[in-house]
Structure 1
């Protein structure tokens, strides 16, 4: 573990004290605040009607009388450029509202730039601008306010109930991180002792009442029972150890005495306890940092402090870029910086503790997830070829080596474990083994619907994962081809996994299914279209007994349905086609042995 010593300087946050208050019910007498914030002991009624009888201002509506009921007015002036917010803290069973105006003129308030009016049905302990300091998603918060130097604001805090125990104001936002001493312009405070002071309980606050012509200094404390003289304190400066209202009375050599009051309030400082290191698999599984909160808090109450986790000490110190409580580790080794923050005063914090997150790398498996084997008696070796001796291997088949040899198709799953202590990080990868056989074309049929339409069907000896292709066209999943052009074609069937192919040559022609040689000049002759696409084509016509009747050549006019000058009877007749193929060989056209009908 690494510890860092931190000296925390209070900037701008709050605590609640009911024994005394700084509050003004009138806008004209708004309490000025700057880098420290006031603590109000409750609001009781209002002075004049600052809204001149209006029934609504922004989100604040008129109640039984005026917009204001139990109101408190404050004013502040911006000293730097940045993002500003504030938290108004109160008891969870109370309901407070606010309206913020960008002006210093109570007579021309205009519309509020931020406004919130909810019934606190969720029992929240804060309303405001920016983010709820407890980290919850609170509907009673408005968006951050972008501010510039010289802007002045009036803030009205209102309560429609008479029984309220008070509130406190805590400023927040990036402007206070970048400009802790000048975010707000303290020239707005016209008071010898300055603005109210909010400090962490491990700090010492010094009030300075130094006056040039002072004769004596008398210091008094109101801790809830009225002002009482502080014995022995007569110096210009007073070191404060307890919360309360402080007053100094200065007797001068000339002129009237000066009396000045201010408030000092302390918020508890947290302590971060040591945290155990964590070990997790780098598999996207989250570590629940909510469980680490218990370690960090020790006996401290989670109602008083909140825990955040950060990647760097700078982020932890600034309270910036908090990690998700569902933390997913991505590194083999990572230091997590812990910040414990007072909910009362977010500038009271401890960022002294860290812990380590040790990530266990998952085994990397890179073997193929699909293996295709071609052959009648296939066998194949699958798995991780280079094993890691620090890992254990187990297949779904029960084998415990990184490589196995299989002779059956199927899905084989390998689980590889990297174990450190009680943590097991497992990578699982499956491989599908497919045994394939080359396709074998058993038959091809060519069906002619008429002299222009045809359907080619390709049949295989066995089913498989095959694709079908005609000539050099795009392969398809089906063995059916429609309306091929007349001529010679090559049909190829291939195994998609590379396990061989089979091809056949076919010839497609066009011919009528019947003809009527009756002398009416319609279908008087029978001929075959598409022969011009072939070399030396010859059509030979037979009767049903195989008797040669007639031959048609490329430029022939066709057959008239006669033999040796005699008209043949109505019947079905068969034909075959021969031609010279691309190798110069005379061959019979495969898969053409069709028939047609002679009608009279």
Structure 2
């Protein structure tokens, strides 16, 4: 017998998660209610209806064996429904669907770290995770961690904690700890030529566009009272720039290896209290902020390894401004549209004709100029934008207005 008389469903969905619970909804549910729970958790489905003496729960359209109570603990992803039975063995219509889906826990892998020696070069932590990793260290007088780069500043044993925050459905923070031991330099090694080598990496301060050559400069100095021998400076170029040429090396020899993209500058000796300089030319092949890191080492242990590495951050202008548009109403190229302008919401566009008269001007330009009421021809623009550092950049050029599509 099939009937619905006397049946009125009231659903509540309670999510149990690591000892806590949250009520997702009560009363008549929507046609399809979706509940997301953390993988490995259970959601309790609760059906209540008048005149019911038994229930039958369904999973993906199939009856669940022995699931005849008003509550059912769902631990699988899928679609759940329930049917109620009254004392006359009449069954109700199936309830609306409750869709249960899982969210995976965050994953964090933090391998063990090999012992280090005071004076070793900075190194990178190799933890991987499904979310953003945060590092902390205790105590804080042996190493410094910036992003995932570690600089050794002392001797001792520290505990490094890597953590990834959970989500709304899987709120537990994932934590993995590793121990790092930094050993002291042997007495003999530290007593022989305790040099202090420093390097500063810098780039030209002018605004540089992509495909435009510019120079990096590496300045090195031996700040100690002892000569440094077998000095080596390495600069592995970031992928966003292409090497052009080495300009000059004040001392020693500088070479570029295309396979490794590394500039290596070597010298047999850098005398006490002296310095040297290397300049080389590159060009940017993509816009944005690019970090270039260089490192200096010698055969001697360094008494202050913190200044053995230097990073230069350079912003590259990324505007690609078209030199023609065709406002003829065909739906293609009908406006003077600058693709990357959305990255610079603070902008001002000025367009003049060949006699210097302004024909269009807009602040916060939105790629909408159609050249309305202007003759076909060549016009000249000045585009000023404020970059992410709050500095003004200006782009000048020409654009052709042609109503015949090309």
Tell which has more relative contact order, 1 or 2 (C-alpha 8 A, sep 6+): 2
TM over 0.5: no
TM-score norm. by structure 1 comes to: 0.21
TM-score norm. by structure 2 comes to: 0.29
Larger radius of gyration: 1
